[in-house]
A and B are shown apart, each in its own frame.
Chain A
Amino acid sequence: MLIKLAWRNIWRNKRRSAIMLSSIVVGYAALVFMDGLTTGMVLQLLDNRIGIHTAHLQVHKAGFLDNRVLENRVRNPEEVASALDQSEEIDRWSGRVLTYGMVNSASGSAGVTIVGVEPGRESGITQIAGLVKSGRYLSGDRREILLSERLADKLGVGLNDKVVGMASGLGGEIGSELFRVVGLYRTYNSTFDEMHAYVFIDDARRMLSLESGVMEFAVICENTDLIESMERSLAAKLGDRYEVSTYRELLPLLVVQVDIYREMMLIVYAILSLAIVLGIVNTMLMAVYERIHEFGVLFAIGMKRHKVFSMIVLETFSLGVLGTIIGIGAGAGVTAPFMKTGIDLSMFEQSLTAFGTGAVIHPQLTLKALFSAAALVPLVSVLGALFPGYKAVRLEPVEAIRFV
């Protein structure tokens, strides 16, 4: 009957309870939406970096990541390729020749990372082939170069224009190759776009005076849960002459950034919870004040103070549970449609592409977020009821009865 009493007490003042319920609903709905948006944003940030270049795993010659010089290339790529081909969990891999160099046009030049790739393999590793906005992806023919739109703008070139790639080759001499622009791409990350130009791997080798070898192997595992175990098994298979790294090791700052964003959400949770608690305290104080006389009667008929306190907590808790259920439902309802279509934040495109997420954010609704919001209910409701409950139980029966 106490639950029934608490529930009916809630609806004694329908307008006030509705306002309190609304604040909880809006608070939790906002929380779920914010969590979804932030999770979506940080995962997109990470996925984009994985998807445009890093891949799930990379294999290098030991020491390459600390000193990215040509001498630290993988001289016998067949050995690594064979190990990769033998691993069942590995779906796709691609060898790359990487070098820092210059791309020069008639009207400008830019320092970039020139990435030599096998187009057939690389298009299965990164999204670059799918992000070509004009022209086409590399075909494997000689002297083709794929630039980003931003880099092309900077160099003042367009499709079919010629540019010269230059880089310091083996032995220190400057190697150069003439390329024709076959395509222009645009990723979600403007900084990346300005810094990466793609050529056929043999052209890159020729420019660098390399007969063979690659700088890195980029690897995709279909089952992302197996990335860590794949890293261990590949490392064991290849021995200490090679370094096998996961994207977490290759993008440490980004991973930290993702973690920080997630932790920041905890602060948002705390702030919103505090706002909800204060709303509950305010409403329940009014409710307690209005019912002082009634509490006196309850004391008079023998209701113990802790039961009066429990009743107030139960009232708040019931309202909190109801508000949370509706709030989480509303939050999920608002967030879910955008999971597929994404939220177009084109008005912030410049900053978002510089950040690396792209202008369209796809919120992610996770069970963790829903459960986190739901788990706050007992705490928030009880916290909100503590002070009003304390005020109620401090009343002396006779004073409470006299109160009008």
Chain B
Amino acid sequence: MEIVRTEKLEKTYEDEGVAVHALKGVDLSIEREEYTVIAGPSGSGKTTLLNLIGALDSPTKGTVLFENESLGDKSKGELSELRLHRIGYVFQAYNLIPVLTALENVEFTMLLQGLSKEERRKKARGILDELGIGDLADKRPNEMSGGQQQRVAVGRAVVADPLLVLADEPTANLDSKTGASLLDLMERMNSEKSITFIFSSHDPQVIERGRRLIKLEDGAISEVEDRGAGDAGGL
């Protein structure tokens, strides 16, 4: 079942008066429960594509369909709702809220969703335990290592049971062992919670684990590689 489709997606930025074509007509389809990696060199348009799929940015041309609904037809408020309830983000720089503890960071999304304090606390503690960082619940981001922060970020992204998690270079700031352990976690979330994952990365170990690999070069898809039976989406 298709969750995301892009049609002739183009994005052009103005950079000091010069037009930069970040995406040049990307057609892409992502099925539910996929574990897809978008790979490519720096400047190939990976993050731009992720931002457009995640309703953080709007395309210059073309369409993004999320569950068959065009994001272009939605208001800013509806896009916020979509991000809040359906999409989780994992950023390269973790981007936890510095003044909140690990537990509160994970709770925060559920607070925005309007869950009760008891429910939030129970789910947040559960996910931290699941991620193996239950003992860090009361630590603030500056008291945790990069790997621990990224685990909290994963917890924040998946705790509200989104359909899709977008992970932009999630291992870029981690050593390979911590990165591998984080990827294990996300694979587990993918299989156990049926959450669709889309990564953007040029980290070999992320690329290796992707069950579908989409290569981007100069804003266009250069290659698609389906590696797992039943996981592949259409292009």
Q: Are B80 and A396 in contact (CB under 8 A)?
A: no
User: Which residues 290-326 in A have Cβ within 8 Å of B in the complex?
Assistant: 293-294, 297-305, 307
Contact with A along B64-88 (1 / 0, CB 8 A): 0000000000001100111111011
Query: Contacts A300-B83, A302-B81, A302-B83 given: A8-B54 contact, CB under 8 Å?
Result: no
Q: Are A8 and B99 in contact (CB under 8 A)?
A: yes
Contacts of B51 on A, CB cut-off 8 Å? 398, 401
State A302–B166 Cα separation when bound (angstroms): 14
State A397–B76 Cα separation when bound (angstroms): 10
Contacts of A8 on B, CB cut-off 8 Å? 99-100
Chain A interface residue number, banded: 20 to 34
- Chain B nearest CB from A383 CB (Å) reads 25
Contact with B along A391-404 (1 / 0, CB 8 A): 00000111001000
Q: Are A302 and B85 in contact (CB under 8 A)?
A: yes
Is B205 in the interface zone, CB < 8 Å from A? no
User: Which residues 94-111 in B have Cβ within 8 Å of A in the complex?
Assistant: 95, 97-100, 104, 107-109, 111
Q: Are A5 and B97 in contact (CB under 8 A)?
A: yes
Q: List 16 A-B contacts (CB under 8 A).
A: A1-B104, A2-B111, A4-B104, A9-B99, A12-B98, A12-B99, A293-B95, A297-B89, A297-B91, A300-B56, A301-B112, A302-B83, A302-B85, A302-B112, A307-B112, A398-B56
Interface of A: prevailing SS: helix
Is B156 in the interface zone, CB < 8 Å from A? yes
Most chain B beta-carbon contacts within 10 A, residue among A1, A302, A401: A302
Contact with B along A343-386 (1 / 0, CB 8 A): 00000000000000000000000000000000000000000000
B interface residues (Cβ-Cβ under 8 A, vs A): 51, 54, 56-57, 76-77, 80-85, 87-89, 91, 95, 97-100, 104, 107-109, 111-113, 156
Q: Are B54 and A300 in contact (CB under 8 A)?
A: yes
Contacts of A398 on B, CB cut-off 8 Å? 51, 56-57
State A1–B57 Cα separation when bound (angstroms): 28
State A305–B112 Cα separation when bound (angstroms): 12
State A396–B156 Cα separation when bound (angstroms): 22
Q: Are B56 and A299 in contact (CB under 8 A)?
A: yes
A interface residues (Cβ-Cβ under 8 A, vs B): 1-2, 4-5, 8-9, 12, 293-294, 297-305, 307, 396-398, 401
A-B pair number, CB within 8 angstroms: 70
Nearest chain B residue, comparing its CB with the CB of A397:
B56
State A320–B113 Cα separation when bound (angstroms): 29
Contacts of A302 on B, CB cut-off 8 Å? 80-85, 87, 109, 112-113
Nearest chain A residue, comparing its CB with the CB of B157:
A301
Among B81, B104, B156, the residue within 8 A (CB) of A301 is B156
Q: Are B99 and A5 in contact (CB under 8 A)?
A: yes
Contacts of A303 on B, CB cut-off 8 Å? 80, 84, 112
- Chain B nearest CB from A305 CB (Å) reads 7
Nearest chain B residue, comparing its CB with the CB of A396:
B57
- Chain A nearest CB from B24 CB (Å) reads 18
Nearest chain A residue, comparing its CB with the CB of B168:
A401
